[in-house]
């Protein structure tokens, strides 16, 4: 008997389906015996919906992607249509190009995250981990450039090269040597911790008119990183720590683009005053 198309494209076959059904049967027996859920192959048992392995995480990834896209579009409209432009039609906001790149990278990462949560196979894991690593590295670069107001090209290269070297090395290691989830988590946490420290230093010292948003972003980032470290059995078989982490990231994405828009207005105003 041939599986439905929506199962075949996700590489669901009789063996994987049997493993899932046996796992669910075993978990039902444990529940009846008053036992707590246990991990299988290092992962908690999650109920599938139409072949989707982690439906709640997929939904939150998709919603976060939509928020990121909305934030980027609203930022685009602001800088190109609502704020003054230079005579060469370029924006006065010096971080404009960096933010367009950031938007592309973060949406790409969320897309592959949703795909991986939908069907966790080696290929989708590689794409998810690689995209997340690239996002973490680029976010750190952006944080350093903005927090320390780095405009000199030589200084930018000195910041960018070592970070990209770490990112490239980790991605190559994952894809061509060992797809190590534990190491990947450590690398992401390490890069993320440095980024939070950078934002925190700027939030504490800046006189930016929207510093409260920056500080809220800083505190929320710490909270979300703490959530990411949680590990508990899925509630009702659907909501695990990863889904909760994805949900917590949605308001943070909105807050981030809100601050970016304020920052664009602030920096444009500063440049216009200097040009007069």
Q: How far apart are CA 66 and CA 48, in angstroms?
A: 23
Q: How far apart are CA 138 and CA 36, in angstroms?
A: 40
Within a 13 Å sphere around the CA of 242, how many CA atoms are in the beta-carbon half? 19
Residue 48 domain-assigned?
Answer: no
Residue 30 domain-assigned?
Answer: no
**Count of domains observed in the chain:** 1
End-to-end CA distance of the chain: 76
Identify the three-state secondary structure at position 94. coil
Q: φ and ψ at 88, to 5 degrees? A: -85, 10
Residue 28 domain-assigned?
Answer: no
| Tokens representing residue 51 in the block | 């072949």
Q: φ and ψ at 41, to 5 degrees? A: 55, 35
Closest C-alpha among 225, 164, 217, 218 to residue 192: 225
Looking at residue 137, its pLDDT comes to 98
Residue 167 domain-assigned?
Answer: yes
Residue 158 domain-assigned?
Answer: yes
CATH number where 119 lies: 1.20.1070
Identify the three-state secondary structure at position 125. helix
pLDDT one digit per residue (tens) for the chain, 276 residues: 455 544 554 555 566 667 666 776 676 677 777 777 777 766 777 777 877 888 999 999 999 999 999 999 999 999 999 999 998 999 999 999 999 999 999 999 999 999 998 888 889 999 999 999 999 999 999 999 999 999 999 999 999 999 999 999 999 999 999 999 889 999 999 999 999 999 999 999 999 999 999 999 999 999 998 988 887 878 887 888 889 999 999 999 999 999 999 999 999 999 998 876
Residue 43 domain-assigned?
Answer: no
Ramachandran sector of residue 173 (left: φ over 0; alpha: ψ -120 to 50; beta: rest): alpha
Residue for token pair 């720590």: 241
Domain extent, residue 101, equals: 54-275
Residue 33 domain-assigned?
Answer: no
């Amino acid at each position: 008997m041939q599986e439905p198309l929506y199962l075949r494209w996700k590489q669901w076959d009789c063996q994987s389906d049997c493993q899932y059904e046996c796992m669910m049967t075993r978990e039902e027996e444990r529940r009846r015996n008053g036992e707590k859920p246990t991990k299988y192959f290092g992962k908690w048992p999650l109920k599938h919906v139409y072949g989707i392995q982690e439906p709640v995480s997929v939904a939150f990834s998709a919603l976060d992607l939509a928020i990121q896209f909305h934030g980027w579009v609203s930022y685009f409209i602001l800088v190109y249509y609502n704020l003054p432009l230079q005579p060469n039609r370029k924006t006065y906001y010096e971080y404009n190009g960096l933010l367009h790149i950031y938007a592309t990278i973060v949406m790409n990462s969320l897309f592959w995250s949703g795909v991986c949560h939908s069907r966790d196979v080696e290929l989708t894991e590689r794409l998810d981990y690689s995209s997340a690593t690239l996002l973490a590295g680029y976010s750190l670069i952006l944080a350093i450039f903005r927090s320390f107001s780095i405009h000199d090209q030589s200084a930018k290269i000195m910041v960018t090269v070592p970070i990209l070297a770490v990112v490239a090395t980790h991605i190559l290691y994952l894809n061509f040597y060992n797809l190590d989830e534990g190491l990947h988590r450590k690398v992401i946490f390490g890069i993320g911790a440095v980024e939070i420290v950078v934002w925190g230093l700027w939030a504490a010292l800046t006189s930016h008119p929207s510093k409260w948003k920056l500080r809220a972003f800083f505190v929320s980032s710490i909270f979300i990183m703490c959530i990411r470290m949680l590990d508990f059995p899925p509630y009702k078989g659907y909501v695990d720590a990863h889904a909760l982490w994805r949900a917590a990231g949605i308001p943070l994405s909105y807050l981030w683009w809100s601050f970016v828009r304020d920052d664009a207005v602030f920096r444009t105003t500063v440049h216009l005053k200097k040009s007069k």
